[in-house]
A and B are shown apart, each in its own frame.
Chain A
Amino acid sequence: MNWMKFKWLYFLLSAVVIIPGLFSLLRFGLRPAIDFTGGTLLEIRYPVDSPPPSAETIQSELANAGYEIYSVQPSGSENFIIRTRSIEKEQALAIENLLSEKTASPVEEIRFESVGPVLGRELLNKTVIAIILASLVILSYIAWRFKNAHFGICAVLAMFHDSLVLLGVFSLLGHFASVEVDSLFVTAMLTILSFSVHDTVVVYDRIRESQHHQPKTPFVNLVNQAVTETLSRSLNNSLTIIFMLIALYLLGGETTKWFVFALLVGTIAGTYSSTFTAAPLLVVWHNLTHRRQKKI
């Protein structure tokens, strides 16, 4: 099948997904969780017998009492997630008592998380180091594995493609749905980087193998052949992972929901990019160098 005939269409599709995300990333950035900024998260549950007030009411009520509230977000029908400046446990208890005044039975504390500002900054630094380190390890692995600049650079570009998709999606989600980026998101991102490379490696391996066996066949045909041969493997493997992730996203706990979503987005992007970004990029590069050689 002549997959590469439509290579510009694939790039266009990537662009359609990446550009809004990139715009949002530059314009709004990401929404860091208290892991990175420091602060307090208090999740409370209103008793069944009293109807909970709206998030705005809670926010203004707490603000009037002098608390520095960042946001109040409903979670499910009875739960609210309150984010504030880093506070002590006593103050959290005071908030709970304040809110309980309006209800028949006291509100229940589901979660209390407080991170000091110093710790947040420290984690941010460590996370940046982890990302750099992981990228370096993956890059040197690619360099060692391919010993060929074309393949190596294209694999890295495909990896960037996946990271951009993931970051863009979470920037948009952060802006429109207040989804935060925490240390688990970073974990998901690093996992996706390795997945992206591993999927690309399988396609590239096949191209190199057929290059070896059929040196006379034009490069585009080799790529087409390799894509045809690896597509079902790539799809099937991703499908099994996606089955597990979708089940976990729909049914799993609230804590890991966005973590699983990040993995899901990354897996889909990684599967797409290994066939429809990494392989066409090789062809484009090959054509460019080839044309130049002809001119000389």
Chain B
Amino acid sequence: MTRKRILLLIIALLTFVSLYIDLPPFRLKTERFGLNLDWQFSRPPLNLSIGNFRFYRDLEIKKGVDLAGGAHLVFQADMNNIAPSDQLEAIQAVRNNIERRINLFGLAEPVVQTAKSGTDYRLIVELAGVTDVNQAVDLIGQTAQLDFRELSPEATEAASLDDFVVTDLTGKDLSRSEVQFNPQTGEPEVSLQFSPDGGRKFSDITTRNVDRPLAIFLDEIPLTAPYVKEAIQDGRAVINGGFTLDDAKKLSIQLNAGALPVPVRVIEQKNIGASLGEESVNRSLQAGLIGLTMVILFMAVYYGWKGILADIALIIYGLITLALYKLLPVTLTLPGIAGFILSVGMAVDANILIFERMKEEIRWGKPYNLAMELGFGRAWDSIRDANSVTLLTCFILFNPFNWPFLNSSGMVRGFALNLALGVLLSLFTGIVVTRTLIRTFSFRKKT
């Protein structure tokens, strides 16, 4: 049976690859038995790039706010002063701005999402591992400050950024900024549109700064310092000079952050102390291990050697799931862990259905090997039905299309995602893996 061998090979390969991904770095050191062993296990991060496609994973488990400690914040954006047509742009600008500030704050992988609910725009910020949440909230809550600065008259050729002095032109005077394409060269460029008042100020500034740089600062950080070619009277300016499309978009969004200032305020805040998170992880892991041991023992005692094979399939299931968490990556939360643990209990369901069916077929007088194949075949209908309902429910809970009428909270999503992943994978291990194992080993046993 070559097909069986191929399957067995694939399963073995999957198991070892998963094991390789799963293992944390460790060190083996022993001087017993006359052996002098000192071996370090470490694994390079995954770094694939094919053409423009890049795939990088550091293969560490991502912990959510409730596990790593940190803060979950929801900000409501005040759009009162922004025209409806500009609101989407404005919230993008706020989002990028907040992301930039958090990065400056030195945080690893913050999550900043925008959400629209009715006519309200919101920002959901997750800061895992932050200790001083209050400082972070203050920092995030500030409105972006954009201003235009000119080179001070005393500055020499070797002028640095410190030589720029503030003008009276600020983000308030800028109506908006857009990316456009130069009609002659087709290159992307960034346009600026000033308010009538801002246009007058801009005209004054450009008149006295022809052939000199005019710097634009956002939150005290220089964005760009283009040279003024000529005095601009009509309040419309264009910054060009070899932008890539991405650069132009980025600059335009940053300018909008100052041009469309959107005050934000906290409407939901959840702080979790790091100690609570760590405690929860350890306890949940312990619970998972104990539960798993009980399930393994139960299966082995009740179903004998078939149960042991199902247990092997269950362990392979665990290994592959963990590897998937690292590869996708899945951000683990406490409800997510609960979802995973629940799916372990459900994972053996397919095996139980199959084994019970096999017992019956044997009772009805079918020969052993036939009973086994029939058990797998006839139990499938029940297995499919049982799992499709669970998957449908997970779909509603996860809300993958971000339907505004459904919840999209991280906790519920984490649970649904892990449960759905667990159900799908358990179908593979419960049916394909167990069947291959049973076919392989029962063959030997019978002949």
Hey, what's the 0/1 contact readout for B97-132 against A, CB within 8 Å counting as 1?
000000000000000000001100000000000000
Knowing A114-B268, A130-B407, A190-B397, the reply to whether A248 touches B291 (Cβ < 8 A) is: yes
Interface locus among B156-164, B221-229, B412-420 = B412-420
Q: CB of B144 within 8 A of chain A? A: no
**Contact with A129, one of B276, B338, B392, B405 (Cβ below 8 angstroms):** B405
CB distance from B366 to the nearest CB of A (A): 15
Decide if A237 touches B348 in the complex (CB within 8 Å).
yes
Q: Does A187 contact B412, Cβ atoms closer than 8 Å?
A: yes
- The yes or no answer to A72 lying at the interface (CB within 8 A) is no
Contact indicator B390/A115 (Cβ below 8 Å): no
A180-192 near B? 1/0 per residue, CB < 8 Å: 0001101100110
Q: Is A111 an interface residue (CB 8 A)?
A: yes
Q: Is the CB of A126 within 8 A of B390?
A: no
B342 adjacent to A194 (CB under 8 Å): no
Range class of the A interface residue count: 35 or more
Please tell me the size bucket of the interface on B.
35 or more
Which one, B16-24, B245-253, B380-388, is touching chain A?
A: B380-388
For the complex, is A250 an interface residue (Cβ under 8 Å from B)? yes
CB <8 Å contact, A240 and B349: yes
Residues from chain B with Cβ under 8 Å of A113 in the complex: 268-271
Residue of A nearest to B71 (CB): A112
Q: Which of A71-96 contact B (CB under 8 A)?
A: 88-89, 93
A195: chain B residues at CB < 8 Å are 390
A244 to B349, CA, bound (A): 13
* Chain B CB within 8 A of A15 CB: no
How far is A255 from B69 in the complex, measured between Cα atoms in Å?
13
The interface bits of chain A over 236-266 (1 if a CB of B lies within 8 angstroms of the residue's CB, else 0) are: 1101111111111011111110011001000
B283 CB contacts on chain A under 8 angstroms: 251-253
Q: How far is the CA of A93 from the CA of B272 in the complex (A)?
A: 15
Asked if A141 lies at the interface with its beta carbon under 8 angstroms from chain B, I say yes
**Nearest-CB residue, chain B, relative to A205:** B382
Q: Is B280 an interface residue (CB 8 A)?
A: yes
Contact with B267, one of A119, A201, A252, A254 (Cβ below 8 angstroms): A119
Residues 150-198 (chain A) with a chain B CB within 8 angstroms? 183-184, 186-187, 190-191, 193-195, 197-198
Contact of B407 among A118, A126, A233, A246 (CB under 8 A): A126
B396 touches A122 (CB 8 A): no
Taking CB atoms and an 8 Å cut-off, the chain A residues in 114-130 that contact chain B are 114-116, 118-119, 122-123, 126-127, 129-130
- Give the A-B contact count at a CB cut-off of 8 A: 213
CA distance A259 to B405 in the complex (A): 24
| B287 interface residue (CB < 8 Å to A) | yes
Main secondary structure on A side of the interface with B: helix
**CB-nearest residue of chain B relative to A255?**
B334
Q: Does A56 contact B (CB under 8 A)?
A: no
* B393 near A111: Cβ-Cβ < 8 Å: no
Mark contacts of B267-299 with chain A using CB atoms, 8 A cut-off: 1 yes-contact digit, 0 otherwise: 111111101100111011011101110110011
Q: Which residue of A lies closest to B277 (CB)?
A: A253
Closest to B269 in A: A114
Q: Is the CB of A242 within 8 A of B397?
A: no
Chain B residues with CB under 8 Å of A112's CB are 133, 269-271
Question: How far is B203's CA from A233's CA once the two chains are assembled, in angstroms?
Answer: 82
Q: Looking at the complex, which one of B134, B294, B389, B419 makes contact with A141 (CB distance below 8 Å)?
A: B389
A118 to B271, CA, bound (A): 20
Contact A233 B397 (CB under 8 A): no
* Consensus secondary structure, chain B interface: helix
Partner-contacting stretch, out of B36-44, B54-62, B352-360: B352-360
Instruction: Flag whether A138 is at the interface (Cβ < 8 A).
Output: yes
Q: Are A256 and B338 in contact (CB under 8 A)?
A: yes
Pair A247/B353 contact, Cβ less than 8 Å: no
| B279 to A: closest C-beta gap in Å | 7
Q: Is the CB of A255 within 8 A of B280?
A: yes
Cα of A260 to Cα of B409 in the assembled complex, Å:
18
Residue of B nearest to A191 (CB): B393
Residues of B within 8 A of A254 (CB): 276, 280
- What is the 8 Å Cβ interface bit string for chain B, positions 399-417, against chain A (1 contact, 0 not)? 0000001110101100110
Task: Answer whether A247 and B385 are a contact pair too, CB < 8 Å, given A110-B273, A187-B397, A256-B338.
Answer: no
Instruction: Give bound CA distance, A116 to B389, whole Å.
Output: 34
Q: Which of A115, A118, A193 contacts B393 (CB 8 A)?
A: A193
Q: Which residue of B has the minimal Cβ distance to A198?
A: B386
| Bound-complex Cα distance A110 to B268 (A) | 17
Q: In the complex, how many angstroms separate the beta carbon of A232 from the nearest chain B beta carbon?
A: 6
Distance, CA A233 to CA B352, complexed state (A): 6
Does A133 interact with chain B (Cβ within 8 Å)?
Answer: yes
The reply to whether A111 and B345 contact each other, CB–CB distance below 8 Å, is no
Residue A108 interfacial (CB < 8 Å): yes
Q: For residue B411, which residues in chain A have a CB less than 8 angstroms away from its CB? A: 183-184, 187
- Which residues does chain B contribute within 8 Å of A134, judged by CB atoms? 392-393, 396-397
Shortest distance from the beta carbon of A74 to any chain B beta carbon, whole Å? 16
- Beyond the given pairs A187-B397, A194-B389, 10 more chain A to chain B contacts, judged by CB atoms under 8 angstroms and listed by A's residue number, are A89-B134, A109-B273, A114-B270, A237-B352, A240-B295, A244-B291, A253-B276, A254-B276, A256-B335, A259-B338
6 A–B pairs (Cβ distance < 8 Å), ordered by A: A89-B133, A183-B412, A244-B295, A248-B338, A252-B338, A255-B334
The 6 residue pairs across chains A and B that have the minimum distance between CB atoms: A253-B280, A241-B345, A247-B291, A198-B386, A116-B267, A244-B291
Q: Which residues of B contact A (CB under 8 A)?
A: 66, 74, 76, 117-118, 133-134, 137, 266-273, 275-276, 279-281, 283-284, 286-288, 290-292, 294-295, 298-299, 302, 334-335, 337-338, 341-342, 344-346, 348-349, 352-353, 356, 360, 381-382, 385-390, 392-393, 396-397, 405-407, 409, 411-412, 415-416, 419
